[in-house]
Amino acid sequence: MRTRTNLNEQWTFTGPQGSACAVDLPHTWNAVDGQDGGNDYWRGTCTYEKEFAMPRFDPAVEDVYLEFAGVNASADVELNGHPVMHHDGGYSTFRGCVTELLAQENHLVVKVDNGVNDRVYPQKADFTFYGGIYRDVELVVVNKHRFSMDHFGGPGLKVTPQVAGADGEVRVESWNNAPDAQVEVILTDAEGREVARGEGADVTLRIPDVHLWDGVADPYLYRATVRLVENGEAVDEIGCRFGVRTFRMDPKEGFFLNGRRYPLHGVSRHQDRKGIGNALTRAHHEEDMALIREIGANTIRLAHYQHDQYFYDLCDEYGMIVWAEIPYISEHMPAGRENTISQMKELIVQNYNHPSIVTWGLSNEITISTKDKKEKWDEIIDLCKKSVEIVNEVRGNG
Protein backbone atom coordinates (compact mmCIF):
# COMPACT_ATOMS: atom_id res chain seq x y z
CA MET A 1 0.00 0.00 0.00
CA ARG A 2 1.13 3.56 -0.64
CA THR A 3 3.10 5.52 1.91
CA ARG A 4 4.08 9.18 1.75
CA THR A 5 7.05 10.99 3.32
CA ASN A 6 7.07 14.78 3.42
CA LEU A 7 10.37 16.40 2.37
CA ASN A 8 9.56 20.04 3.16
CA GLU A 9 12.18 20.57 5.85
CA GLN A 10 15.92 21.31 5.76
CA TRP A 11 16.70 22.46 2.23
CA THR A 12 19.68 24.55 1.12
CA PHE A 13 18.70 27.45 -1.13
CA THR A 14 21.21 29.20 -3.39
CA GLY A 15 19.76 32.52 -4.49
CA PRO A 16 20.37 35.20 -7.12
CA GLN A 17 23.60 36.44 -5.55
CA GLY A 18 25.07 32.95 -5.22
CA SER A 19 24.85 32.83 -1.43
CA ALA A 20 23.37 29.75 0.25
CA CYS A 21 21.01 29.58 3.21
CA ALA A 22 18.82 27.02 4.98
CA VAL A 23 15.09 27.10 4.17
CA ASP A 24 12.00 25.02 4.71
CA LEU A 25 9.26 24.65 2.14
CA PRO A 26 7.03 26.23 1.04
CA HIS A 27 9.45 28.92 -0.17
CA THR A 28 9.73 31.69 -2.75
CA TRP A 29 12.61 34.06 -3.41
CA ASN A 30 10.20 36.83 -4.43
CA ALA A 31 8.31 37.14 -1.13
CA VAL A 32 9.58 40.71 -0.66
CA ASP A 33 10.63 42.15 -4.03
CA GLY A 34 7.52 40.73 -5.70
CA GLN A 35 5.16 42.63 -3.38
CA ASP A 36 5.69 46.29 -4.27
CA GLY A 37 3.47 46.41 -7.35
CA GLY A 38 6.32 46.82 -9.81
CA ASN A 39 7.70 44.47 -12.43
CA ASP A 40 11.30 44.77 -11.26
CA TYR A 41 11.32 41.67 -9.03
CA TRP A 42 14.15 39.23 -9.69
CA ARG A 43 13.50 36.53 -12.28
CA GLY A 44 15.97 33.81 -13.14
CA THR A 45 17.30 30.45 -11.95
CA CYS A 46 17.92 29.46 -8.33
CA THR A 47 18.83 26.11 -6.79
CA TYR A 48 17.33 24.02 -4.00
CA GLU A 49 19.25 21.06 -2.54
CA LYS A 50 18.33 18.45 0.04
CA GLU A 51 19.91 15.37 1.60
CA PHE A 52 17.67 12.48 2.59
CA ALA A 53 18.06 8.84 3.57
CA MET A 54 16.80 5.93 1.54
CA PRO A 55 13.11 5.40 2.33
CA ARG A 56 11.96 2.02 3.59
CA PHE A 57 10.73 -0.02 0.64
CA ASP A 58 11.17 -3.39 -1.05
CA PRO A 59 12.78 -2.79 -4.48
CA ALA A 60 11.59 -6.20 -5.65
CA VAL A 61 7.92 -5.22 -5.45
CA GLU A 62 7.82 -1.44 -4.88
CA ASP A 63 8.78 1.80 -6.63
CA VAL A 64 9.54 5.25 -5.26
CA TYR A 65 8.28 8.49 -6.80
CA LEU A 66 9.25 12.10 -6.17
CA GLU A 67 6.16 14.32 -6.23
CA PHE A 68 6.11 18.11 -6.45
CA ALA A 69 2.81 19.92 -5.84
CA GLY A 70 3.98 23.26 -7.27
CA VAL A 71 7.26 24.71 -8.57
CA ASN A 72 7.25 28.04 -10.41
CA ALA A 73 7.81 28.16 -13.25
CA SER A 74 10.14 25.50 -14.69
CA ALA A 75 12.00 22.78 -12.82
CA ASP A 76 14.95 20.52 -13.57
CA VAL A 77 15.19 17.73 -11.01
CA GLU A 78 18.35 15.70 -10.39
CA LEU A 79 18.97 12.90 -7.91
CA ASN A 80 22.51 11.81 -7.08
CA GLY A 81 23.80 13.52 -10.20
CA HIS A 82 21.27 11.91 -12.55
CA PRO A 83 18.45 13.79 -14.30
CA VAL A 84 14.97 12.77 -13.14
CA MET A 85 12.59 15.09 -14.97
CA HIS A 86 11.93 18.53 -16.42
CA HIS A 87 8.61 20.29 -15.94
CA ASP A 88 7.25 23.52 -17.42
CA GLY A 89 4.31 25.20 -15.71
CA GLY A 90 4.35 26.61 -12.22
CA TYR A 91 0.98 25.63 -10.80
CA SER A 92 0.41 21.88 -11.18
CA THR A 93 1.54 18.60 -9.64
CA PHE A 94 4.25 16.56 -11.35
CA ARG A 95 6.09 13.42 -10.34
CA GLY A 96 8.79 11.03 -11.50
CA CYS A 97 9.99 7.53 -10.61
CA VAL A 98 13.40 7.50 -8.86
CA THR A 99 13.65 3.85 -7.79
CA GLU A 100 16.78 3.08 -9.80
CA LEU A 101 18.56 6.27 -8.71
CA LEU A 102 18.27 5.88 -4.94
CA ALA A 103 21.25 5.30 -2.65
CA GLN A 104 21.56 4.91 1.12
CA GLU A 105 22.18 8.67 1.34
CA ASN A 106 20.69 10.85 -1.40
CA HIS A 107 21.41 14.30 -2.79
CA LEU A 108 18.41 15.99 -4.43
CA VAL A 109 18.92 19.09 -6.60
CA VAL A 110 16.08 21.16 -8.06
CA LYS A 111 16.94 24.04 -10.38
CA VAL A 112 13.98 26.40 -10.51
CA ASP A 113 13.58 29.04 -13.21
CA ASN A 114 11.02 31.86 -13.34
CA GLY A 115 13.01 33.80 -15.91
CA VAL A 116 11.65 35.53 -19.00
CA ASN A 117 11.05 33.24 -21.99
CA ASP A 118 8.60 32.72 -24.84
CA ARG A 119 7.55 29.12 -24.02
CA VAL A 120 5.95 28.93 -20.57
CA TYR A 121 2.84 30.83 -19.52
CA PRO A 122 2.38 33.32 -17.96
CA GLN A 123 4.99 35.88 -19.01
CA LYS A 124 3.03 39.13 -18.95
CA ALA A 125 0.34 40.08 -16.42
CA ASP A 126 -0.41 42.34 -13.45
CA PHE A 127 0.50 39.73 -10.84
CA THR A 128 3.85 38.36 -9.67
CA PHE A 129 5.32 35.14 -11.06
CA TYR A 130 6.91 34.08 -7.78
CA GLY A 131 9.92 31.79 -8.21
CA GLY A 132 10.41 28.84 -5.90
CA ILE A 133 9.26 25.48 -4.58
CA TYR A 134 6.15 26.86 -2.94
CA ARG A 135 4.11 23.72 -2.32
CA ASP A 136 4.81 20.31 -0.80
CA VAL A 137 7.46 17.84 -1.93
CA GLU A 138 6.89 14.18 -1.07
CA LEU A 139 8.38 10.73 -1.58
CA VAL A 140 5.70 8.20 -2.51
CA VAL A 141 6.36 4.47 -2.08
CA VAL A 142 3.97 2.42 -4.20
CA ASN A 143 3.64 -1.17 -5.39
CA LYS A 144 5.02 -1.96 -8.85
CA HIS A 145 1.50 -3.15 -9.64
CA ARG A 146 -0.42 0.05 -9.09
CA PHE A 147 -2.91 2.61 -10.27
CA SER A 148 -1.57 5.15 -12.74
CA MET A 149 0.99 7.67 -11.43
CA ASP A 150 2.19 9.00 -14.78
CA HIS A 151 -0.75 10.69 -16.53
CA PHE A 152 -0.34 14.48 -16.29
CA GLY A 153 0.12 14.34 -12.52
CA GLY A 154 -3.38 12.99 -12.04
CA PRO A 155 -4.70 10.59 -9.38
CA GLY A 156 -5.38 7.65 -11.72
CA LEU A 157 -9.05 7.88 -10.78
CA LYS A 158 -12.02 9.56 -12.35
CA VAL A 159 -15.46 9.78 -10.75
CA THR A 160 -18.43 10.98 -12.81
CA PRO A 161 -21.69 11.26 -10.83
CA GLN A 162 -25.09 11.86 -12.41
CA VAL A 163 -28.54 12.39 -10.95
CA ALA A 164 -31.00 9.65 -11.95
CA GLY A 165 -34.37 10.55 -10.47
CA ALA A 166 -34.09 10.17 -6.72
CA ASP A 167 -30.90 8.15 -7.08
CA GLY A 168 -27.33 8.81 -8.09
CA GLU A 169 -25.45 6.96 -10.82
CA VAL A 170 -21.69 7.11 -10.28
CA ARG A 171 -19.24 5.99 -12.94
CA VAL A 172 -15.84 5.15 -11.42
CA GLU A 173 -12.92 4.71 -13.82
CA SER A 174 -9.38 3.80 -12.85
CA TRP A 175 -6.21 2.79 -14.64
CA ASN A 176 -3.60 0.27 -13.53
CA ASN A 177 -0.69 -1.72 -14.93
CA ALA A 178 -1.80 -5.13 -13.60
CA PRO A 179 -4.23 -6.66 -16.12
CA ASP A 180 -4.79 -9.81 -14.06
CA ALA A 181 -5.59 -7.97 -10.83
CA GLN A 182 -9.06 -7.39 -9.42
CA VAL A 183 -10.35 -3.84 -8.93
CA GLU A 184 -12.71 -3.28 -6.00
CA VAL A 185 -14.80 -0.10 -5.77
CA ILE A 186 -16.55 1.03 -2.59
CA LEU A 187 -18.70 4.13 -2.19
CA THR A 188 -19.33 5.49 1.31
CA ASP A 189 -21.43 8.36 2.62
CA ALA A 190 -20.26 11.29 4.74
CA GLU A 191 -20.49 9.14 7.88
CA GLY A 192 -18.35 6.39 6.36
CA ARG A 193 -21.21 3.94 5.77
CA GLU A 194 -21.06 1.85 2.61
CA VAL A 195 -23.74 2.79 0.07
CA ALA A 196 -22.56 0.87 -3.00
CA ARG A 197 -19.93 -1.65 -4.05
CA GLY A 198 -18.72 -3.09 -7.34
CA GLU A 199 -15.81 -4.53 -9.27
CA GLY A 200 -13.93 -3.44 -12.37
CA ALA A 201 -11.74 -0.68 -13.75
CA ASP A 202 -14.83 0.98 -15.28
CA VAL A 203 -17.96 0.45 -13.24
CA THR A 204 -21.20 2.38 -12.71
CA LEU A 205 -22.79 2.13 -9.27
CA ARG A 206 -26.15 3.33 -8.01
CA ILE A 207 -26.69 5.28 -4.78
CA PRO A 208 -30.34 4.98 -3.67
CA ASP A 209 -32.04 8.17 -2.48
CA VAL A 210 -28.90 10.18 -3.15
CA HIS A 211 -27.96 13.16 -0.99
CA LEU A 212 -27.10 16.03 -3.35
CA TRP A 213 -24.12 18.36 -3.09
CA ASP A 214 -26.15 21.56 -2.79
CA GLY A 215 -23.80 24.53 -2.60
CA VAL A 216 -23.11 26.43 0.60
CA ALA A 217 -26.38 25.27 2.20
CA ASP A 218 -25.53 21.56 2.08
CA PRO A 219 -22.18 20.58 0.48
CA TYR A 220 -22.64 16.85 1.02
CA LEU A 221 -19.69 14.66 0.02
CA TYR A 222 -19.44 10.94 -0.64
CA ARG A 223 -16.18 9.02 -0.99
CA ALA A 224 -14.97 6.55 -3.61
CA THR A 225 -12.30 4.05 -2.56
CA VAL A 226 -10.68 1.88 -5.22
CA ARG A 227 -8.42 -1.07 -4.39
CA LEU A 228 -6.15 -3.15 -6.60
CA VAL A 229 -6.24 -6.75 -5.35
CA GLU A 230 -3.87 -9.61 -6.24
CA ASN A 231 -4.16 -13.09 -4.73
CA GLY A 232 -6.69 -11.79 -2.23
CA GLU A 233 -4.43 -8.97 -1.00
CA ALA A 234 -4.79 -5.25 -1.67
CA VAL A 235 -1.54 -3.98 -3.24
CA ASP A 236 -2.65 -0.41 -3.98
CA GLU A 237 -5.48 1.90 -3.00
CA ILE A 238 -6.64 5.30 -4.22
CA GLY A 239 -9.70 7.38 -3.46
CA CYS A 240 -11.39 10.75 -3.54
CA ARG A 241 -14.42 12.57 -2.26
CA PHE A 242 -17.15 13.51 -4.73
CA GLY A 243 -20.48 15.25 -4.82
CA VAL A 244 -23.60 14.48 -6.82
CA ARG A 245 -25.14 17.57 -8.40
CA THR A 246 -26.46 19.07 -11.61
CA PHE A 247 -25.81 22.56 -12.89
CA ARG A 248 -26.53 24.63 -15.95
CA MET A 249 -26.14 28.21 -17.11
CA ASP A 250 -28.83 30.21 -18.86
CA PRO A 251 -27.97 33.49 -20.64
CA LYS A 252 -31.12 35.14 -19.27
CA GLU A 253 -31.88 33.33 -16.02
CA GLY A 254 -28.31 32.84 -14.76
CA PHE A 255 -26.83 29.87 -12.92
CA PHE A 256 -28.88 26.85 -11.81
CA LEU A 257 -27.80 24.28 -9.22
CA ASN A 258 -29.81 21.06 -8.86
CA GLY A 259 -32.59 22.52 -10.97
CA ARG A 260 -33.01 25.73 -8.94
CA ARG A 261 -31.85 29.25 -9.67
CA TYR A 262 -28.70 29.90 -7.68
CA PRO A 263 -27.54 33.54 -7.81
CA LEU A 264 -23.76 33.77 -7.64
CA HIS A 265 -21.99 36.26 -5.37
CA GLY A 266 -18.28 35.85 -5.25
CA VAL A 267 -14.65 36.83 -5.33
CA SER A 268 -11.54 36.32 -7.41
CA ARG A 269 -8.66 34.84 -5.43
CA HIS A 270 -4.89 34.89 -5.99
CA GLN A 271 -2.62 32.61 -3.95
CA ASP A 272 -0.37 35.15 -2.23
CA ARG A 273 0.15 37.08 1.02
CA LYS A 274 2.11 40.15 2.06
CA GLY A 275 5.63 39.19 3.06
CA ILE A 276 5.01 35.55 2.14
CA GLY A 277 4.28 35.63 -1.57
CA ASN A 278 2.81 32.38 -2.82
CA ALA A 279 4.50 30.19 -0.17
CA LEU A 280 1.20 29.53 1.60
CA THR A 281 0.56 27.03 4.36
CA ARG A 282 -2.69 25.19 5.03
CA ALA A 283 -3.47 27.74 7.73
CA HIS A 284 -3.28 30.53 5.13
CA HIS A 285 -5.65 28.66 2.81
CA GLU A 286 -8.07 28.11 5.68
CA GLU A 287 -7.97 31.78 6.65
CA ASP A 288 -8.68 32.83 3.07
CA MET A 289 -11.67 30.51 2.96
CA ALA A 290 -12.93 31.83 6.30
CA LEU A 291 -12.75 35.41 5.01
CA ILE A 292 -14.56 34.48 1.80
CA ARG A 293 -17.32 32.78 3.76
CA GLU A 294 -17.55 35.69 6.21
CA ILE A 295 -18.59 38.11 3.44
CA GLY A 296 -21.30 35.70 2.27
CA ALA A 297 -19.70 34.65 -1.02
CA ASN A 298 -20.79 31.41 -2.67
CA THR A 299 -18.51 31.39 -5.71
CA ILE A 300 -14.78 31.83 -6.34
CA ARG A 301 -12.79 32.47 -9.46
CA LEU A 302 -9.39 30.90 -8.80
CA ALA A 303 -7.26 33.32 -10.79
CA HIS A 304 -5.44 32.81 -13.07
CA TYR A 305 -3.92 29.35 -12.74
CA GLN A 306 -4.27 26.04 -10.93
CA HIS A 307 -4.41 26.48 -7.15
CA ASP A 308 -3.36 24.16 -4.34
CA GLN A 309 -5.32 20.90 -4.08
CA TYR A 310 -6.07 21.70 -0.46
CA PHE A 311 -7.94 24.85 -1.46
CA TYR A 312 -10.04 22.95 -4.01
CA ASP A 313 -10.83 20.50 -1.19
CA LEU A 314 -11.98 23.40 0.98
CA CYS A 315 -14.18 24.64 -1.86
CA ASP A 316 -15.79 21.19 -2.05
CA GLU A 317 -16.31 21.11 1.73
CA TYR A 318 -17.89 24.55 1.96
CA GLY A 319 -20.00 24.40 -1.19
CA MET A 320 -18.27 27.03 -3.30
CA ILE A 321 -18.96 27.24 -7.03
CA VAL A 322 -15.52 27.40 -8.67
CA TRP A 323 -14.15 28.80 -11.91
CA ALA A 324 -10.79 27.07 -12.50
CA GLU A 325 -8.45 28.28 -15.22
CA ILE A 326 -5.02 28.29 -16.85
CA PRO A 327 -2.67 31.31 -17.22
CA TYR A 328 -3.02 31.88 -20.96
CA ILE A 329 -3.04 35.61 -20.39
CA SER A 330 -2.26 39.06 -21.84
CA GLU A 331 -0.24 37.95 -24.86
CA HIS A 332 0.00 35.24 -27.48
CA MET A 333 3.29 33.34 -27.65
CA PRO A 334 3.47 31.00 -30.67
CA ALA A 335 6.22 28.96 -28.97
CA GLY A 336 3.99 28.56 -25.90
CA ARG A 337 1.18 26.61 -27.53
CA GLU A 338 2.39 23.21 -26.31
CA ASN A 339 2.68 24.55 -22.76
CA THR A 340 -0.79 26.06 -22.92
CA ILE A 341 -2.31 22.71 -23.83
CA SER A 342 -0.25 20.76 -21.28
CA GLN A 343 -1.33 23.15 -18.50
CA MET A 344 -4.95 22.69 -19.56
CA LYS A 345 -4.58 18.91 -19.51
CA GLU A 346 -2.97 19.01 -16.06
CA LEU A 347 -5.70 21.30 -14.72
CA ILE A 348 -8.52 19.03 -15.88
CA VAL A 349 -6.88 15.66 -15.16
CA GLN A 350 -5.81 16.69 -11.65
CA ASN A 351 -9.09 18.38 -10.70
CA TYR A 352 -11.81 16.48 -12.55
CA ASN A 353 -13.28 14.93 -9.39
CA HIS A 354 -13.95 18.19 -7.51
CA PRO A 355 -17.73 18.87 -7.39
CA SER A 356 -17.11 22.57 -6.73
CA ILE A 357 -15.65 23.15 -10.22
CA VAL A 358 -18.19 24.07 -12.89
CA THR A 359 -15.99 26.01 -15.35
CA TRP A 360 -12.66 25.34 -17.05
CA GLY A 361 -11.33 28.81 -17.90
CA LEU A 362 -9.10 29.26 -20.93
CA SER A 363 -7.86 32.82 -20.62
CA ASN A 364 -8.05 36.13 -18.77
CA GLU A 365 -9.07 39.55 -20.13
CA ILE A 366 -9.75 38.19 -23.60
CA THR A 367 -10.94 41.58 -24.88
CA ILE A 368 -7.70 43.36 -23.96
CA SER A 369 -6.28 45.43 -26.83
CA THR A 370 -2.81 44.26 -27.80
CA LYS A 371 -0.87 44.12 -31.03
CA ASP A 372 -1.45 40.36 -31.18
CA LYS A 373 -5.16 40.50 -30.32
CA LYS A 374 -6.25 38.61 -33.45
CA GLU A 375 -3.71 35.85 -32.84
CA LYS A 376 -4.88 35.58 -29.23
CA TRP A 377 -8.53 35.34 -30.28
CA ASP A 378 -7.68 32.69 -32.87
CA GLU A 379 -5.80 30.73 -30.21
CA ILE A 380 -8.70 31.00 -27.73
CA ILE A 381 -11.17 29.74 -30.33
CA ASP A 382 -8.87 26.82 -31.07
CA LEU A 383 -8.40 26.19 -27.34
CA CYS A 384 -12.18 26.06 -26.88
CA LYS A 385 -12.29 23.20 -29.36
CA LYS A 386 -9.21 21.59 -27.84
CA SER A 387 -10.59 21.83 -24.29
CA VAL A 388 -13.67 19.85 -25.33
CA GLU A 389 -11.34 17.17 -26.68
CA ILE A 390 -9.34 17.23 -23.43
CA VAL A 391 -12.45 16.83 -21.25
CA ASN A 392 -13.70 13.99 -23.44
CA GLU A 393 -10.25 12.39 -23.29
CA VAL A 394 -10.26 12.64 -19.50
CA ARG A 395 -13.72 11.16 -19.35
CA GLY A 396 -12.97 8.33 -21.75
CA ASN A 397 -9.32 7.43 -21.49
CA GLY A 398 -7.92 8.81 -18.25
* End position of a domain, from candidates 111, 143, 175: 143
User: Do 331 and 218 share a structural domain?
Assistant: no
Query: Does 210 have pLDDT greater than 60?
Result: yes
Say if residue 59 is preceded by a cis peptide, omega within 30 of 0.
no
Domain count, the chain: 3
Q: How would residue 267 be classed by pLDDT, with cut points 50, 70 and 90?
A: very high
Return the pLDDT at 373: 62
Q: What CA–CA distance (Å, rounded) separates 217 from 221?
A: 13
CA–CA–CA angle 337, 341, 345 (5° rounding): 170
Report the CATH number at residue 130: 2.60.120.260
User: Do 85 and 208 share a structural domain?
Assistant: no
Number of residues written out for the chain: 398
User: Do 276 and 215 share a structural domain?
Assistant: no
Domain that holds residue 118: 3-143
User: Do 127 and 101 share a structural domain?
Assistant: yes
Task: Look at residue 336 and tell me if it is in a domain.
Answer: yes
Return the pLDDT at 397: 44
Q: What is the tens place of the pLDDT at every residue in 142-162?
A: 999 999 999 999 999 999 999
* End position of a domain, from candidates 85, 112, 143: 143
Single pTM value for the model: 0.95
User: Do 380 and 301 share a structural domain?
Assistant: yes
Between 365 and 11, the more confident residue is: 11
Task: Look at residue 255 and tell me if it is in a domain.
Answer: no
User: Do 127 and 163 share a structural domain?
Assistant: no
Task: Look at residue 35 and tell me if it is in a domain.
Answer: yes
Q: What is the tens place of the pLDDT at every residue in 377-395?
A: 677 777 777 766 776 676 5
Q: What CA–CA distance (Å, rounded) separates 3 from 285?
A: 25
Which residues are annotated as catalytic?
365
Q: What CA–CA distance (Å, rounded) separates 288 from 302?
A: 12
Average pLDDT over residues 218-225: 99
The alpha carbons of the chain give a radius of gyration, in whole angstroms, of 22
Query: Does 193 have pLDDT greater than 50?
Result: yes
Distance linking the first and last C-alpha atoms of the chain? 22
Closest CA to 129 of 159, 181, 90: 90
Closest CA to 174 of 143, 146, 140: 146
Task: Look at residue 196 and tell me if it is in a domain.
Answer: yes
Three-state secondary structure call for residue 314: helix
User: Do 392 and 270 share a structural domain?
Assistant: yes
User: Do 50 and 105 share a structural domain?
Assistant: yes
